[in-house]
Amino acid sequence: MIPIEPVILVEGKYDKNKLEQIFDGTILTTDGFGIFRQKEKLALLRRLADVHGLLVFTDADGAGLVIRNYLKGTIPKDRLFHAYIPPIEGKERRKAAPSKEGFLGVEGVSDEVIVQAVRNSGALNCAPKQRGNLNKNDLYELGLSGTSGSAERRRAVMEALRLPGNLSANALLDVLNCLTDREGLEALLSMPKKAE
């Protein structure tokens, strides 16, 4: 596993799964064009980019370009990295037909192509910052998963940290490790609730 400081942003879950096999870092998805409708997620990406940098790694097709250009206009240039895969003809194994342009997406290219694209982006040259050390057991012990009222406590944490309310448990853990550590999360949980 290659450690990487910037948060990696890919289009979908298959791209994310592929990169999780190669890189040790935080990997989030745009949910395809969902990024255009998710103001909370965009705000989160801005915050993560400010702290860690953001590596945009979309497919080499028209949709990937549209997403990439949108993010170029919303994230400060000095906090943004771009990994580009070359246009390689073919189709992913899970798909019945190739993409409209006929090129492989992030999930379909070799690990070597992916690593070279990330090297070319400059994202591997970032000095690592200290990340939190939270794990799923911490979330359980702090009452944020698997306990009575855990969903309500997770919502309160996401609201307090101005995070999108639709983060999965794994995505929440990744984001929390970018923003805080166990002590910071405990302090947040001990803060009195705001009066409605």
Single-letter residue type at 134: L
Mean pLDDT of the chain: 85
Single-letter residue type at 67: I
* 104 or 194, higher pLDDT: 104
Give the pLDDT score at 9.
96
Does a structural domain hold residue 156? yes
Statement to judge: residues 27 and 82 lie in one domain = yes
CATH number, domain containing residue 84: 3.40.1360.10
How, if at all, do strands 27-29 and 2-3 pair?
A: unpaired
Does a structural domain hold residue 196? no
For the chain, report the end-to-end CA distance as a whole number of angstroms: 46
Does a structural domain hold residue 159? yes
What percent of the chain has a predicted confidence (pLDDT) above 90?
A: 33
Of 84, 27, 90, the closest CA to residue 54 belongs to 27
Q: Is 147 helix (H, G, I), strand (E, B) or coil?
A: coil
Q: Is the pLDDT assigned to residue 89 strictly greater than 90?
A: no
Statement to judge: residues 59 and 107 lie in one domain = yes
Statement to judge: residues 28 and 118 lie in one domain = yes
Q: Is 115 exposed, middle or buried (0-12, 13-18, 19+ CB in 10 A)?
A: middle
**Mean pLDDT, to the nearest integer, of 98-113?**
86
Give the pLDDT score at 196.
46
Statement to judge: residues 45 and 78 lie in one domain = yes
Statement to judge: residues 153 and 69 lie in one domain = no
* Distance from C-alpha of 141 to C-alpha of 169, rounded to nearest angstrom: 14
Statement to judge: residues 103 and 24 lie in one domain = yes
Residue 8 parent element (H or E) = strand 7-10
Q: Is the pLDDT assigned to residue 164 strictly greater than 70?
A: no
- When divided into structural domains, the chain yields a total of 2
**Mean pLDDT, to the nearest integer, of 126-134?**
72
Q: Is the pLDDT assigned to residue 178 strictly greater than 60?
A: yes
Statement to judge: residues 108 and 156 lie in one domain = no
Measured over the CA atoms of residue 141, residue 146, residue 152 and residue 158, the dihedral's sign is: positive
Does a structural domain hold residue 104? yes
Q: Is 16 helix (H, G, I), strand (E, B) or coil?
A: helix
Most confident of 10-24, 38-52, 137-151: 10-24
